[in-house]
Amino acid sequence: MHELGRLEDLPESYRADLTARNLVPLWPSLRAVLPPGKPTSRTQPISWSYADIRPLLLKAGELTPMEKAERRVLVLANPGHGLEKMQASSTIYLGMQLLLPGEWAPSHRHTPNAVRMIVEGKGAYTTVEGEKCPMERGDLILTPTGLWHEHGHDGNEPVVWLDVLDLPIVYYMEASYVTPGERQPITSAGSDRAYQRGGVMPTPMFTRSANAFPMLRYPWADVKATLQGLATTATEAVQVSYVNPETGLDALKILGFSALMLRPGQTLNLPARSTAMVFHEIEGSASVSAADQSFSLKEADTCCIPGYTPITLSNLSADQPAFIFIADDAPLQKKLGVYEVRS
Ligand code: GTQ
């Protein structure tokens, strides 16, 4: 591709005339916005260790009461985007949230979609649109766009979870806002039980709107058992997607979520895909390698790898399985028609 004219090649007075009329010549910037072959990515490969986060989060528990925080969260920010942007990737926000015994994070609803992956502690729960969802380690709880949610804690130890939101892309669309609400009466529970088994589901489903999110809590015990069952088959990638059990489609519309098991000693090569990916270690330990970077993840560690990069995952244990939670923006990219796998 040949070189194009630069801004400096244009007479200063001409440039001033353009600027005065809010006009910009394309050609000096054309290669920047349409780079050949592969996008430029601000997203850097980066990892966050839970051993680093945990004491700082507990310190936030001492420094900042809930009334002054609403949500007590340390954001896992990718320096490639600038820390103040609070982005892990172009579309993904990650935060570690702390709730102490007896605390309550007040009800609200917002346009961005959220999920929580529970990291430690017992006794906390999220109420989503009246459904009480207990939080236990490894559980995935959805708070889809527009649904009321609040967090409570009846236990006696700190509870920590990883929030994954599509906030950066919804904010970029200038569509991000919140509505504060009142404490919700608990009116239902057990969507996790109702949809516990693949292949069968509650019968009175035809009255439900296509926009509903029928399952709000995906218990880790069930997901882990499913992975362990799948691992006894010949499949190479022992991976399950979190889906809407009534449609079989992605659980949420913008970000996609899956859980992957690496058998003891297993190495898995993932082809380059157009989505940045977040890896969070649920159990065991694994390395995540891409280009010249390699991260070792212990339990509750998290990393982010930019898109268009082949990735190698390796279980660091020869006798224990490793379980990894994965988030990406494949649902959005597929809807937009820009999703690619390069083999
Ligand atoms: O728990 O509702 O990390 O509204 C960021 C925004 C968590 C939440 C975050 C939120 C929440």
Q: What is the mean pLDDT of the chain?
A: 96
Residue 209 lies inside a defined structural domain of this protein:
no
Residue 82 lies inside a defined structural domain of this protein:
yes
Residue 163 CA, chain-centre distance (Å), reads 7
CATH number of domain containing 152: 2.60.120.10
In DSSP notation, 242-280 reads -B-TTT-SBSSSS-EEEEEEEPTT-EEEEPEESS-EEEE
Q: Which atom of ligand 1 is nearest to 97's Cα?
A: 3
pLDDT digits (tens, 9 = 90+) for 198-241: 989 888 765 666 668 999 999 999 999 999 999 999 999 999 99
pLDDT of residue 204: 72
pLDDT of residue 206: 59
Q: What total of structural domains would you count in the chain?
A: 1
Residue 38 lies inside a defined structural domain of this protein:
no
Torsion 142-145-146-152 (CA) sign: positive
Residue 83 lies inside a defined structural domain of this protein:
yes
Strand partners, 98: 160
Q: Which atom of ligand 1 is nearest to 105's Cα?
A: 1
* DSSP-based three-state secondary structure for 62: helix
- What lies within 8 Å, CB to CB, of 149 at 6+ separation is 107, 108, 109, 114, 126, 127, 128, 129, 143
Q: Which atom of ligand 1 is nearest to 151's Cα?
A: 1
CA of 251 to the centre of ligand 1 (A): 18
Residue 311 lies inside a defined structural domain of this protein:
yes
Is the shortest distance between the CB of 15 and ligand 1 below 6 Å?
no
Is the shortest distance between the CB of 263 and ligand 1 below 6 Å?
no
pLDDT digits (tens, 9 = 90+) for 83-125: 999 999 999 999 999 999 999 999 999 999 999 999 999 999 9
- The fraction of the chain above a pLDDT of 70, given in percent, is 98
Residue 289 lies inside a defined structural domain of this protein:
yes
Residue 255 lies inside a defined structural domain of this protein:
yes
Is the shortest distance between the CB of 95 and ligand 1 below 6 Å?
yes
Q: Which atom of ligand 1 is nearest to 149's Cα?
A: 2
Residue 305 lies inside a defined structural domain of this protein:
yes
Pocket test for ligand 1, best of 70, 115, 163 (most atoms within 8 A of CB): 163
- The residue whose C-alpha atom lies closest to atom 1 belonging to ligand 1 is 71
pLDDT digits (tens, 9 = 90+) for 119-158: 999 999 999 999 999 999 999 999 999 999 999 999 999 9
Q: Is the pTM of this model over 0.85?
A: yes
- Distance CA(188)–CA(128), nearest Å, equals 10
Strand partners, 323: 261, 283
Query: Which residue range is the domain that position 247 belongs to?
Result: 46-186+216-342
Q: Indicate whether 44 pLDDT > 70.
A: yes
CA of 71 to the centre of ligand 1 (A): 6
CA of 190 to the centre of ligand 1 (A): 23
pLDDT of residue 212: 84
Spell 199-235 as b/e; 16+ CB within 10 A means b.
eeeeeeeeeeeeeebebbbbbbebbbebbeeeeeeee
- The residue whose C-alpha atom lies closest to atom 10 belonging to ligand 1 is 71
CA of 295 to the centre of ligand 1 (A): 27
